[in-house]
């Protein structure tokens, strides 16, 4: 049964759930109402029985015992009382009053009351008369006697009223409640279906949009957001997701286009040089040794440039993913900068590199962070003239790299972190234009920021900030302090 319900569409399940909930609620209310009315009607009948018992006189009871008849008088029923009245002896023999409406069936309860009288205690029950009609019965113990008279016990007074009208009223009430409940359940099912359709309309729109995107790969689809409920939040999340996917696809296409453009130049140059060498071998015309040596050097430089460009592209494709894919660790930033300084000193042995590094710990992926620091230092080394000084300072999570090169024009500063962007004055220098872009994306993925600005007195200063880690690694040397060192000459 449960599996069949789960197989139904969502709106059908919602409508069924509403109908069942309303059916349970209506049934509970109907049963409660019927029980309350039943108790109220029976209480009224019991009050009438109690009043009827008090109207009987002891003389009437004594006379009935002396002339016991098990049937009422033969007078017409219209002249009889509307109630039943009779005495019950301990052996169950009834003595019916003459004007009684009829005779009530005696039960063991009535006999018990007659045998063991408990004055003042009334016993109420439902029963039937000798014709099978339902009646409401009260049985009261009777103890007769007076001054100079023997006490007569072992009798009970039985008074009853017909229940046809009461039960008819209860049956009519049950029928009305049943009809009202049925109408309520049907109405609740229809209302539940309408509510399900209205409430799930945004979900249908979202489903259509998702199916459209899956079918056409059209990421420009947007769903109208109305209100601030869960459906509106889901629609807004879908719109944000498609916008992010569209932006990611645009960036991928732009990266492919930029990479193709950058790869075309070294590949074209290599192809030209290789064709010259091949044609020389095919025609037998030897290239002069100096020209051949220059061609081979050019090929080697172009291959080196191509390999560096491919490496930068691979690094750029991974940059920014470390925070989500690679596990982050607590890294000593000062040690990472010191390692990068050693590599930078090898690439610019004619430079003087000074450093002042205070301990600072960050959460990052070690290899990606080191690559970003190396790229930042390489940029300073590349644009520094021979014999110049590069100053590196790390203090409270702020790393500054200051060179004494030609500097960057103000109109070019907004573009320095763009992919493949190279200053017109630096295009003759080696590089792919991806180094600073890798630095920016790596630092941003760890919650930091990086910026370049003109340095006072000439040159450029790069400022990199990274938030500190909550605690340093357990094996960190806390006794280490910042110092000053020279690398290179």
Instruction: Return the pLDDT at 22.
Output: 83
Q: What six digits make up the tokens of 366? A: 């070690």
Instruction: Return the pLDDT at 122.
Output: 85
Find out whether 92 and 106 touch, Cβ atoms under 8 Å: yes
DSSP secondary structure, 220-268, as one string? T------SSSHHHHHHHHHHHHHHHHHHHHHHHHHHHHHHHHHHHHHHH
Q: What six digits make up the tokens of 183? A: 């109408």
**Could you give the angle at which helices 435-445 and 289-318 cross, rounded to 10 degrees?**
20
CATH class of 230-317: mainly alpha
Instruction: Return the pLDDT at 92.
Output: 85
Q: What is the pTM of this model?
A: 0.45
Instruction: Return the pLDDT at 261.
Output: 57
Find out whether 395 and 356 touch, Cβ atoms under 8 Å: yes
Instruction: Return the pLDDT at 33.
Output: 92
DSSP state of 71: S
Please provide the size of the chain in residues: 489
CATH class of 68-162: alpha beta
Find out whether 88 and 158 touch, Cβ atoms under 8 Å: yes
What lies within 8 Å, CB to CB, of 24 at 6+ separation is: none
Helices within 319-434 (DSSP H only):
333-347, 366-382
**How would you write 378-393 as a 3-class SS string?**
HHHHHCCCCCCEEEEE
Instruction: Return the pLDDT at 452.
Output: 87
Per residue of the chain (489 residues), give pLDDT as tens.
556 656 666 767 777 787 888 888 888 999 999 999 999 999 999 998 888 766 666 667 777 777 888 888 776 655 577 889 888 888 888 888 888 888 999 998 888 888 876 766 788 999 998 888 999 999 988 766 544 444 456 788 899 999 999 999 999 999 999 998 888 888 887 887 787 777 777 777 778 888 888 888 787 878 777 777 777 788 888 888 888 888 777 767 766 765 665 566 567 778 888 888 888 888 878 888 888 888 888 778 678 767 766 766 666 566 544 444 557 888 899 999 998 888 777 766 678 888 899 999 998 888 778 888 888 888 788 878 888 888 899 998 899 999 888 877 777 777 777 766 555 555 445 545 666 777 888 888 888 898 888 888 788 888 999 998 876 655 554 444 444 444 332
Instruction: Return the pLDDT at 51.
Output: 82
- Pairing between β-strand 398-402 and β-strand 94-96 as defined by DSSP bridges: unpaired
Find out whether 402 and 391 touch, Cβ atoms under 8 Å: yes
Domain 324-487 has CATH 3.30.565.10: yes
Instruction: Return the pLDDT at 273.
Output: 80
CA–CA dist 69, 46 (Å, integer): 26
Instruction: Return the pLDDT at 484.
Output: 40
> Which sequence spans correspond to the domains of the chain?
1-55+163-218, 68-162, 230-317, 324-487
């Amino acid at each position: 049964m449960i599996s069949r319900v789960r197989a139904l569409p969502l709106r059908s399940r919602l409508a069924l759930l509403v109908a069942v909930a309303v059916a349970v609620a209506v049934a509970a209310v109907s049963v409660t109402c019927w029980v309350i009315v039943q108790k109220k009607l029976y209480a009224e009948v019991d009050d009438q029985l109690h009043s009827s018992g008090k109207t009987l006189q002891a003389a009437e009871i004594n006379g009935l015992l002396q002339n016991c008849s098990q049937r009422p008088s033969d007078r017409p029923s219209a002249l009889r009382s509307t109630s039943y009245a009779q005495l019950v002896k301990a052996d169950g023999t009834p003595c019916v009053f003459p004007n009684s409406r009829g005779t009530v069936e005696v039960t063991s309860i009535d006999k018990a009351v007659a045998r063991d009288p408990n004055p003042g205690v009334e016993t109420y029950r439902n029963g039937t008369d000798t014709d099978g009609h339902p009646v409401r019965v009260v049985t009261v113990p009777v103890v007769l006697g007076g001054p100079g008279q023997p006490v007569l016990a072992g009798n009970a007074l039985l008074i009853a009223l017909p229940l046809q009208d009461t039960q008819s009223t209860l049956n009519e009430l049950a029928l009305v409640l049943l009809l009202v409940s049925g109408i309520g359940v049907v109405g609740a099912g229809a209302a539940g279906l309408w509510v399900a359709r209205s409430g799930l309309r945004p979900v249908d729109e979202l489903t259509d949009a998702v199916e459209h995107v899956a079918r056409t790969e059209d990421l420009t689809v947007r769903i109208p957001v109305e209100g601030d409920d869960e459906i509106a939040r889901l629609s807004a999340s879908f719109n944000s997701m498609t916008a992010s996917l569209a932006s990611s696809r645009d960036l991928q296409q732009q990266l492919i286009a930029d990479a193709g453009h950058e790869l075309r130049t070294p590949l074209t140059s290599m192809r030209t040089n290789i064709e010259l060498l091949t044609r020389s071998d095919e025609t037998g015309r030897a290239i002069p040794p100096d020209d051949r040596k220059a061609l081979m050097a050019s090929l080697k430089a172009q291959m080196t440039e191509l390999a560096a460009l491919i490496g930068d592209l691979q690094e750029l494709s991974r940059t920014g993913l470390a925070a989500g894919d690679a596990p982050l660790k607590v890294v000593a930033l000062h040690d990472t900068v010191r390692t990068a300084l050693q590599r930078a000193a090898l690439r610019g042995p004619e430079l003087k590199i000074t450093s002042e590094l205070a301990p600072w710990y960050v959460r990052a992926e070690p290899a990606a962070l080191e690559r970003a620091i190396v790229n930042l230092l390489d940029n300073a080394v590349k644009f520094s003239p021979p014999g110049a000084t590069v100053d590196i300072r790390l203090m409270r999570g702020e790393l500054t790299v200051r060179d004494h090169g030609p500097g960057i024009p103000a109109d070019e500063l907004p573009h320095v972190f763009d992919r493949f962007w190279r200053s017109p004055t630096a295009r003759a220098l080696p590089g792919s234009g991806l180094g600073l872009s890798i630095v920016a994306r790596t630092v941003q993925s760890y919650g930091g920021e990086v910026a370049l600005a003109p340095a006072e007195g000439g040159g450029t200063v790069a400022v990199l900030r990274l938030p500190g880690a909550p605690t340093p690694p357990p094996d960190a040397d806390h006794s280490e302090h910042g110092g000053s060192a020279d690398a290179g000459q």
